[in-house]
Chains A and B, each alone.
Chain A
Amino acid sequence: MSAATSRPTVEARNLSVRFRARGEAAWPWSKAGEVKAVENVSIAVPRGEMFGVAGESGCGKSTLARALLNLVAPSAGEVRIDGRAVAGMPALELRSSIQMVFQDPYNSLNPRRRVGDIVAESLVVHGRFDDRERAHRTLTMLEKVGLGAQHLERFPHEFSGGQRQRIAIARALILEPQFLVLDEPTSALDVSVQAMVLELIRQLRRDLDLGCIFISHDLNLLGFLTDRLAVMYLGRIVEMGPTKEIFAAPAHPYTVELIAATPSPYEEGREPRQPIEGEIPSNVNPPPGCPFHTRCRKRIGPICDSRLPELRWHEGRAVRCHLYDGPPAESGGAP
């Protein structure tokens, strides 16, 4: 896998995912409320890149992850892997090119199966290799994530959260996928354990030349880990660009607020800011216009309430904000 000009890429093109709102009575003819989980999202992650998706609850980041694996069907738009639409792809082929690690290490492993079986299951499902080769590869994979032969016959409950997440990573990587989606893989873990898992992920990405989409609400983490970052709010990407640049000079007002609200023990000098007001609106009835206008300190006028800003490229970054509507020169100093 040389760093060719066109590396294999996973991309979402104008992807939207909508669900029927839960708990609605199902008259066949009645119009049920719709959750607009993901709205018109486009991203492209080449192999080898660590791409971050940031956002608070309800922003659609987990749905985006599931849509990338075709675990939920998009309502509009499409996902392509290496140029091929996943919608028509045979399930096993898709699964062997992109895999996922889930948030909750306590529930993402079947408590009734042994670790060896859990990890080997992928190979069994895909009908790869004979028993001996499977066993060999399972052990090799476990060793790669820092576990060993003595763990093969154990059940998940005998492991700590960090170890379980390693098992989950092993299960995902044994199929040798090109891409790995990680949905908040460390949010249930303690700091010290998180550090171990993060280091493991970094190392595996390097070793296996993986394209990673890392989803998290923790900006400190994403700032540390990722190459590029997309910030989502109410199903839409509001800002996207190289991580370093975003942290150095966040453009979208929401990004600004989010970074400011993220506590850090090292910013002693930081003047405590007045926290952003209000609550996150519902994604069943999102506000008209810019989704963030209800809480935005930089609101520039009625246009924010009525017109949805487009995602525009601005100084190497894509930003969805009316502040940056005009030519770059006019909008001048970013906040």
Chain B
Amino acid sequence: MSAAPVAARPAPAAPLLAVRGLKLRFDTRRGVVRALDGVSFEVAPGECVGLVGETGCGKSITARAVMGLVPAPGRIEGGEIRLDGRDLMALPAEEWRAVRGSQVAMIFQEPKRALDPTATVGSQIVEAAMLARRIDRAEAKRLALDTLRQVGLADPERIMRTYAFELSGGMAQRAMIAIAVVGGSRLIIADEPTSSLDVSIQAQILRLLQDLRRRLGSALILITHDLGVAAENCDRIVVMYAGQIVEQAPARELFRAPAHPYTERLLRSLPRPGRDALSPIPGTVPDLIDPAPGCRFANRCERAGPDCAATPAMSEIGRRHFVACYRPVRPT
């Protein structure tokens, strides 16, 4: 919380997206869920940032907040979301709407559910193109065909006429990606884009995203629970836990030398060939209704001490490596 203003600038270049001190709550019957508590991070132009964490850590909600599509009864309480320096939250609803699709676009976890089952793929991509680029239908259609080809869909003419249910998961996700990029957004948010896909298809889609990012020069926020996916695809990784960012670092640095105890324990929980035993994290994620102040990981942390009762600030412990912990793990 008090960490927000301190949030350092990981990248010296002017960031494309800057989220600062974002606080978001859900008013439920059980009480107020503090879903995001002082989330701050930046994305540089063309950069691929991984947002990782376990279920309920707030990574998807962060993405929704950036899109301006926080689901009811969620409410942003504070902080700012700056795109190219412009505070989106200060914009009138109509202008924020205009940002969507043309400057920020989103890819969803289950492509077949993110496509309207009763509308053709073509109509949806044309719709996206017309809205984002303010062009006429014919031009939008040309652009759509071109984009479909770019995402690796052979025979785009046919794809335009198909419906979501007629496509395989991989093809549907390619179509979804086409819809996201057709507007020329400089920031693409992919929310678990491959979680519903098979391993071999996942590899294709991730490769496609990387190719597109390089070709179009847009930045990518890759939200995933799969540390392997993040490691192989992202420049920089932001680790979230219980509504807070606990650590952020360049991908290799993070896996080589995790500093936050949570990150470290998480990595030790990963099964892989040749490992003797896993080392699970004891305990469970705290309830986000009226959580205890201080480090939210403290109750599960073997390193925790009395000082952890105060919320740790984000501090830079290595080059572009930040951690919010009083007792970070030092590389040995």
A191-B54, A223-B274 known; A266+B203 contact, CB < 8 A: no
Task: Determine the residue in chain A with the shortest Cβ distance to B196.
Answer: A57
Pick the residue among A195, A224, A265 that contacts B227 (CB under 8 A): A265
Give the Cβ gap from B194 to chain A, nearest Cβ, in Å.
Answer: 9
Whether, in the assembled complex, A264 has its beta carbon less than 8 Å from a beta carbon of chain B, the answer is yes
| CB <8 Å contact, B225 and A190 | yes
A263 to B275, CA, bound (A): 16
Interface size band for B: 35 or more
Question: In the complex, how many residue pairs between chain A and chain B have their CB atoms under 8 Å apart?
Answer: 122
| CB <8 Å contact, A199 and B277 | yes
Tell me the interface secondary structure of chain B in the complex: helix
Give the Cβ gap from A86 to chain B, nearest Cβ, in Å.
Answer: 30
16 A-B pairs with C-beta separation under 8 A: A57-B198, A191-B266, A191-B270, A192-B265, A198-B271, A219-B273, A220-B270, A225-B271, A247-B273, A261-B200, A261-B203, A262-B228, A263-B206, A265-B227, A272-B207, A276-B203
B199, B256, B272, B281: most-surrounded residue (chain A CB, <10 A): B199
A196 to B225, CA, bound (A): 17
Return chain A residues, CB-CB under 8 Å to B231. Answer: 263-266, 268
A190-B55, A265-B267, A268-B255 known; A220+B228 contact, CB < 8 A: yes
Return chain A residues, CB-CB under 8 Å to B54. Answer: 190-192
A247 to B273, CA, bound (A): 8
A160-B284, A192-B265 known; A224+B204 contact, CB < 8 A: no
Whether, in the assembled complex, A279 has its beta carbon less than 8 Å from a beta carbon of chain B, the answer is yes
Whether, in the assembled complex, B120 has its beta carbon less than 8 Å from a beta carbon of chain A, the answer is no
Q: Which residues of A are in contact with B by a Cβ distance under 8 Å? A: 56-57, 160, 190-196, 198-199, 202, 217-221, 223-225, 243-244, 247, 257-258, 260-268, 272, 274-277, 279-280, 295
Known: A217-B198, A295-B200. 12 other contacts (CB 8 A): A190-B54, A195-B270, A195-B280, A219-B199, A244-B273, A247-B273, A262-B199, A263-B203, A265-B228, A267-B232, A268-B256, A280-B198
A261-B202, A268-B252 known; A279+B168 contact, CB < 8 A: yes
Task: Determine the residue in chain A with the shortest Cβ distance to B267.
Answer: A265
Return chain A residues, CB-CB under 8 Å to B233. Answer: 263
Q: Which residues of B are in contact with A by a Cβ distance under 8 Å? A: 54-55, 168, 170-171, 198-204, 206-207, 225-233, 252, 255-256, 265-267, 269-275, 277-281, 284
| CB <8 Å contact, B171 and A279 | yes
Return chain A residues, CB-CB under 8 Å to B256. Answer: 268
A144 to B71, CA, bound (A): 41
Return chain B residues, CB-CB under 8 Å to A225. Answer: 271
A192-B265, A257-B200 known; A264+B272 contact, CB < 8 A: yes
Return chain A residues, CB-CB under 8 Å to B229. Answer: 263
A265 to B270, CA, bound (A): 10
Task: Determine the residue in chain B with the shortest Cβ distance to A221.
Answer: B271
A192, A194, A198, A223: most-surrounded residue (chain B CB, <10 A): A192
A253 to B168, CA, bound (A): 23
Give the Cβ gap from A232 to chain B, nearest Cβ, in Å.
Answer: 13
Give the Cβ gap from B15 to chain A, nearest Cβ, in Å.
Answer: 25
A275 to B229, CA, bound (A): 14
Return chain A residues, CB-CB under 8 Å to B201. Answer: 279-280
Task: Determine the residue in chain B with the shortest Cβ distance to A161.
Answer: B55
A225 to B284, CA, bound (A): 24
A263 to B54, CA, bound (A): 17
Return chain A residues, CB-CB under 8 Å to B228. Answer: 220, 262-265
Return chain A residues, CB-CB under 8 Å to B266. Answer: 191-192
Give the Cβ gap from B331 to chain A, nearest Cβ, in Å.
Answer: 15
A243 to B271, CA, bound (A): 14
Return chain B residues, CB-CB under 8 Å to A264. Answer: 228, 231-232, 272
Return chain A residues, CB-CB under 8 Å to B232. Answer: 263-265, 267, 272
Give the Cβ gap from B72 to chain A, nearest Cβ, in Å.
Answer: 23
A295 to B200, CA, bound (A): 11
A192-B266, A199-B280 known; A265+B230 contact, CB < 8 A: yes
